[in-house]
Amino acid sequence: MSLDWLYTAISWILLSWHGVWDAAGTGANWSWILAIIFVVVTLRIVLFPLFMKSIKSQRAMQALAPQITELRAKHKSDPETLQREVMALYRKEKANPLGGCLPMLIQAPVFISLYHVLNFLNASKTDVKYKVLYGWSLPQFEGAVDARLFGAPIAAKFRSSAEDLALMNASSMTVQIVVGALALVMVATTYLTTKQMILKTGWAAEPQQRMIQKLMLYGFPASLLISGAIFPLGVIIYWVVNNLFSLGQQQWVLKKYPPLNLNKQGEVVAAAKAPPSEAAKALAPKPGARPANPKKNAGKRKG
């Protein structure tokens, strides 16, 4: 199935924001960089309700952890029955084990589309039909090819060929420094975003869910070390901004809707009360003692 409609939709958002910032006089370079940034802003605003739904789904899965543990112990010798009972529990409680991944699953096609759109910004292409795909005009195409961040074209990659860089009039060292540094930021912020969510919501008690969490925390950021070499700079900018947006959004949501308090067995427990201070212990009445008379004690102090 052709994804041209999605490429055109992402192009329209990108070009619309470019028009806004170009009219605001931000300059040829920053009008494109800000356009990429505000593609992120647009997407995060649209997906915010789904993000909230994913938080609620994760809370529901945490609350069901003790029951799933009991089912596993009860049917440990019968995997088919265990699977059937677990799915029945999910249906009964209206919990979706994949609900927490929903925003990411929706963002994936958007990311792929933006990668495709920015990847076709190739200075070596001379066919005008190629340059005006997905609703672009020729000036927009040429302006985007020339747009730079710290001297590195947003269409350049860490492993761009010498021929391509020559056509973009870019230095190989400059491109590798800028793209490499931003790729490392991309990896770090991806790790921090995932770690923030796991620390706030807690490690899953269910082994399969815990395995997924570990894969997302360590495996996914590690894979970006390789992917960063093939991503255009504009895509890396999108990814870093998206991660920073996620860090702020998650912090706000998790403060407003704190996670469940779980013990080591994955059971939901009440919030622990802070232990009384030594001064409070000293002033506390002894067991069986009569309540102190504040007026009488005050009179003694005056005498």
pTM above 0.75, yes or no: no
Cβ atoms of 114 and 235 within 8 Å: the answer is yes
| 191 sits in which H/E element | helix 172-201
Q: Give the span between the Cα atoms of 162 and 172, in whole angstroms.
A: 7
DSSP state of 262: B
CB-CB contact of 144 with 232 (8 Å): no
More confident residue, 295 or 220: 220
Measured from the Cβ of residue 32, the count of other Cβ atoms closer than 10 Å reads 30
Per-residue model confidence as pLDDT tens digits over 114-162: 888 888 887 777 788 888 888 999 999 999 999 999 999 998 998 888 8
Tell me the domain boundaries of the chain.
4-285
Q: Supply the pLDDT for residue 56.
A: 72
pLDDT in tens, 226-243: 888 888 999 999 999 999
